[in-house]
Amino acid sequence: MATIELAGVGKVYPNGVEAVKGIELAVADGELIVLLGPSGCGKSTLLRMVAGLETVTKGEVRIAGLRVNEKEPAARDIAMVFQNYALYPHMRVYDNMAYGLRNRRMPKAEIDRRVRAAAETLGLAALLERRPRQLSGGQRQRVAMGRAIVREPKAFLFDEPLSNLDAKLRGQVRVEIKRLQRRLATTSLYVTHDQVEAMTLADRLVVMNQGAAEQIGTPDEIYSRPASLFVAGFVGAPAMNIVDGVVEQGGTAVRLGPAGAPALTLDRPPPGAAGRTVRVGLRPEHLVADAKGPLPFAIELVENLGADALLYGRLPGGASLVARADGGASHRAGDTLRLAIAPSHVHLFEPESGRRIER
């Protein structure tokens, strides 16, 4: 196994576009790190620099402590799994998995041992004689993972491997990847724009925005203490409510909207305290119906999701909110209820920079 270290890694294209901006990251031996972000944020470019498929224009990539910037992909001892399975359609599953080992002129007995062991791990033992066209999408992706596993690499790199699967298969294969990575304990970098994948798979997340690492932390840290408005809005489904606010009462409360709008109690005063203009973040799942709650909420739309429901509406003063409620609740459009939220779940952000205000 191995560590992966990125020391100020950046990518600037000849036209001057800076796709990746000085990423600092240390992936521990056996750790699974997920690079999460929207399309075009630089996450796949960063992964391809680790793989050797893109040149590094700034900084160093180190695998197992050795600089690999100038090494060819084949010399880095890593295995990559792509979103398109890239299987040879005319070959059996067995031959697809064995192909890379045969190119290395590995002994036939060792190839057979590795292929059959990987097939057993991935539940492919009964499919080794089939062709890719005879497999489901999930089975094809497992074959692609098996082809990577048999190499016994120092690290796995996954580039949105589930994006071509339907929702049900994504959930199934996601669980398989998690179990497999835990069993093999192989250092892994995984790219996705899907926050559910990211939150369920990652030991740690790197949330990327416009080529930069906006926040690095465990899934719980990033969900509970987003470092910026971007992270707050990107991580969580539905997204965190963001409302303009003003800190009042010596820093013990924050008003949501113009003068006369309702206010929420704060657990601790933020720096600068009273009169400070802020952006207030409230997660829909933390807003609860409470007859004594401080927020009068006029429901405009109810989206029933079965186990729960999303309530869309407004506060006095016009601020829009989304609240999550139990699916069996009898809320209807046109109803008004009162909402409450624990002070510890009220997030404050700088209006200009978007950075979190710690308190």
Whether 232 is in a domain gets the answer: no
Is 210 a member of any domain? yes
Total number of domains in the chain: 2
Check whether residue 206 and residue 251 sit in a common domain: no
User: Does residue 287 belong to any structural domain of this protein?
Assistant: yes
Q: 60 pairs with which residues across the strands? A: 7
pLDDT at 30: 94
Strand, coil or helix: what is 343?
helix
DSSP string, 143-206: HHHHHHHTT--SEEEEESTTTTS-HHHHHHHHHHHHHHHHHHT-EEEEEES-HHHHHHH-SEEE
CATH of the domain at 305: 2.40.50.140
Residue 263 located in a structural domain: yes
* Last residue in a domain, options 227, 262, 293: 227
Clarify whether residues 212 and 278 are in a common domain.
no
**Together in a domain, 96 and 171:** yes
Domain end (from 227, 258, 280): 227
In this structure, are 48 and 191 located in the same domain? yes
**Residue 116, domain CATH:** 3.40.50.300
Among 227, 262, 288, the domain-final residue is: 227
Same-domain check for residues 20 and 104: yes
Same domain, 216 and 257: no
> In this structure, are 214 and 244 located in the same domain?
no
Could you tell me if residue 32 is inside a domain?
Answer: yes
Structure tokens at 151: 């190499």
* Structure token pair of residue 189: 């970098």
Q: 278: left (phi > 0), else alpha (psi -120 to 50), else beta?
A: beta
pLDDT at 275: 84
CB-neighbour burial class of residue 138 (10 A; exposed 0-12, middle 13-18, buried 19+): middle
Got the DSSP string for 18-53?
EEEEEEEEEEPTT-EEEEE--TTSSHHHHHHHHHTS
Q: Across the 359 residues of the chain, what is the mean pLDDT of every consecutive 10-residue run?
A: 93 95 97 96 96 96 96 92 87 95 93 93 92 91 89 91 81 84 90 93 97 97 97 93 93 91 92 86 96 95 91 93 88 94 96 93
Say if residue 222 is in the same domain as residue 251.
Answer: no
In a domain, 205, yes or no: yes
| DSSP code, position 334 | T
Same domain, 143 and 36: yes
Whether residue 356 lies inside any domain: the answer is: no
Does 319 lie in the same domain as 195?
Answer: no
275, 210: one domain: no
| Domain membership flag for residue 100 | yes
| 267: containing domain | 238-349
Same domain, 56 and 24: yes
pLDDT of residue 121: 84
Q: What Cα–Cα distance (Å) separates residue 20 from each residue in 45, 57, 69, 210?
A: 7, 10, 15, 8
